[in-house]
Structure 1
Amino acid sequence: MVQAIRVHETGGPDVMRWEQVEVGEPGPGEARIRHTAVGLNFIDTYFRSGLYPAPDGTPFSPGNEGAGIVQTVGDGVSNVKPGDRVAYVGPLGAYAQERIVPADRLVVIPEGIDDKTAAGMMLKGMTAQYLLRQTYKVGPETTLLFHAAAGGVGLIAGQWAAHLGATVIGTAGSEEKIELARAHGYQHMINYRTENFVERVQEITGGKKCDVVYDSVGRDTYPGSLDCLKPRGLWVSFGQSSGPITDFNLALLGPKGSLFATRPTLFSYIASREDLEATAGELFDVVQKGIVKIEVNQEYRLAEAVQAHQDLEGRKTTGTTVLIP
């Protein structure tokens, strides 16, 4: 038996329980891993609250990313072996000391990247990769707006986008977070608590606006994000930390400039083994080269997941947070 966080009914952070669970042995195509670190992400709160339904219902363990050591493997597994340091994104269930994972979701952590860094960067880092390199190909001619610039994805994206030569504008809710974002690639920052971000984007760009807006905030930044875009610009809605958008009006895209809108998820971009390896490989490369620095700003014991979720939803965290089993 091992310990894990379990959710028997969805709701606030206090529905999570630290309990004993049976893991079992891996079946064909599976691996059993012992976690050394687990990543904390806003999507974890969506499953815990019931905003996103858990695929297998309740009870379940939250968590979509982790790093650890392969203990045993099932039949037919050749991409990892016992003793390998590995990391992964998905499926649900990372808030546990040990677990079974489909082996084709595991990637071996390269030398020079420690387990805490790997656990905290897989979901956020690969999200930044697909946003900047696939959803919209960012380059020197790109002007972009990234909401929640001091968040986990935002700090990675700022560094990466600056390296790609883009003009990088961000929003955050405090002077401390603004300074943090500036240190991670953002040339222009907007305090959304004291400034109108639509007006400030107009000022910063001289009225030209942005090619792409990356929006993980949701309700509080809609439809303002659309007003920050050039004609035929792209609105990328990839999260909803302030709550879901319930009144999206497709017809708005026309008069606001024949805009494009997309609602991407990482899991669609890494569905195949080939895509997973390519996305993770590019992330590992920019981290190993020092282009993107992953800073673990908060650590909690896995048993303290309730407090970690309270702090995350209370906007008390910045950058990357990991849970230690």
Structure 2
Amino acid sequence: MHAIVVSSPGGSSALEYTEVPDPVPGPDEVLVDVAAAGVNYTDVYHREGRYPLKTPFVVGSEGAGTVSAVGSGVTDLAVGDRVGWVGVLGGYAEKAIIPAARAIPLPDDLSFDLAAAVLLQGLTAHYLTHSTYAVKAGDDVLVHAAAGGMGLLLTQIVKRLGGRVIGTVSTEEKEKLAREAGADDVLRYEGFAEAVRERTGGQGVHVVYDGVGAATFDGSLDSLRLRGHLALYGAASGPVAPFDPQRLNQGGSLSLTRPKLGDYIVTREELLARANDVLGWVASGALKVHISNRYPLADARKAHDDLEGRRTTGKLLLIP
């Protein structure tokens, strides 16, 4: 089979489209014929070595497809079942090994493309808005990169919960997408903290969902109201430099957390509870998923270049 392999961390050129042996499922594992794989910044961090992995490895931590073989001990999945997964390495390939405990059954009326496009970002948006900071009706919420795949989902879910969304974007085209998703107000990045204060009567927002990182971190803290919360869930612009925690005190007893999805889907019960919510919303049309681009598996380098170059909106997929 063909797969995208990283033998040595680096830029997008480190992504090698190559032939590898077909994997064989072990105990409590299933083999899946991959129909679509999601492209995420986590994949970039793995490729760069920011999140170190033993090399060589097959990139990709999200996808969807059909079970083609099952290992010993697997009783609740069978050949032909439609499944998705998140947080399991190896998705940029024609076939992938998935632990049975992490395989997510898909609704019959949900396409593989939509499943692969929503699982990682949808589950992330779910835990951020329901657990990291549980959004309440009337909350003011700042969503960075509001026209990206994560931003569009966060905006819709915050609106479902009754919050008011202020989004940041870089272009007029992206502003249009953010507003279509339900954003109440949309700002450019330059001077956004001051603009947020103006739009909240000088108080600031209850929570900032920040996946941008270094470029927005200071402004995110300055956008918070008394006892506000900053959920720094990513670092698309680079990691945040060390800072003095006293700044949280000076800002008004602020809270900062650096969460990750794996800690919010520890058990199969929690994984399926969040997945069933998100997939159910998508299947019913209550949650819209914007797929920006689909690339052949061999074009993984271009997908990463487009993602890092901010030339896309919504979700990117690789199609084996």
Fold similarity call, TM over 0.5? yes
1:320 aligns with 2:312: no
- Structure 2 counterpart of 1:155, one-letter code: L
User: Corresponding residue for 1:144?
Assistant: 141
Q: How far did residue 224 of structure 1 move?
A: 1.3
User: Corresponding residue for 2:304?
Assistant: 309
Number of equivalenced pairs: 320
Q: Is the 8 A contact 2:149 2:290 kept in 1?
A: no
Distance 2:238 2:271 in 1: 29
- Structure 1 counterpart of 2:217, one-letter code: Y
Q: Aligned match of 2:228 in 220, 224, 233?
A: 233
Q: How far did residue 175 of structure 1 move?
A: 0.8
Distance 2:76 2:184 in 1: 41
Distance 2:88 2:109 in 1: 26
Q: How far did residue 286 of structure 1 move?
A: 1.6
1:181 aligns with 2:144: no
User: Corresponding residue for 1:24?
Assistant: 23
Distance 1:281 1:17 in 2: 34
User: Corresponding residue for 1:37?
Assistant: 36
1:202 aligns with 2:197: yes
Gaps of 5+ in 2: none
Q: Please give the secondary structure, in 2, of the residue aligned with 1:70.
A: strand
Q: Percent identity?
A: 45
User: Corresponding residue for 1:252?
Assistant: 247
What TM-score do the two structures reach when normalised by structure 2? 0.98
Q: How far did residue 7 of structure 1 move?
A: 0.5
User: Corresponding residue for 1:126?
Assistant: 123
User: Corresponding residue for 2:165?
Assistant: 168
Runs of 4+ in 1 over 2 A off after TM superposition: none
1:19-43 per-position Cα deviation (integer Å, ceiling 9, x unaligned): 1111332111000000000001111
Distance 1:18 1:292 in 2: 34
Q: Please give the secondary structure, in 2, of the residue aligned with 1:148.
A: coil
Q: Is the 8 A contact 2:169 2:187 kept in 1?
A: yes
User: Corresponding residue for 1:287?
Assistant: 282
Q: Please give the secondary structure, in 2, of the residue aligned with 1:254.
A: helix
Q: Aligned match of 1:103 in 100, 103, 109?
A: 100
1:81 aligns with 2:66: no
What TM-score do the two structures reach when normalised by structure 1? 0.97
Q: Is the 8 A contact 2:227 2:254 kept in 1?
A: yes
Q: Is the 8 A contact 1:13 1:310 kept in 2?
A: yes
Q: Is the 8 A contact 1:175 1:191 kept in 2?
A: no
User: Corresponding residue for 2:266?
Assistant: 271
- Structure 2 counterpart of 1:20, one-letter code: E
- Structure 2 counterpart of 1:21, one-letter code: V
Distance 1:37 1:164 in 2: 30
Q: Aligned match of 1:65 in 45, 62, 66?
A: 62
Q: Please give the secondary structure, in 2, of the residue aligned with 1:219.
A: coil
Distance 1:45 1:66 in 2: 16
1:224 aligns with 2:219: yes
Q: Please give the secondary structure, in 1, of the residue aligned with 2:57.
A: coil
Q: How far did residue 247 of structure 1 move?
A: 2.0
- Structure 1 counterpart of 2:25, one-letter code: P
Distance 2:142 2:10 in 1: 32
1:191-225 per-position Cα deviation (integer Å, ceiling 9, x unaligned): 11xx4100110111111211100111110012111
Distance 1:187 1:180 in 2: 12
- Structure 1 counterpart of 2:141, one-letter code: L
Instruction: Compute the RMSD of aligned alpha carbons.
Output: 0.9
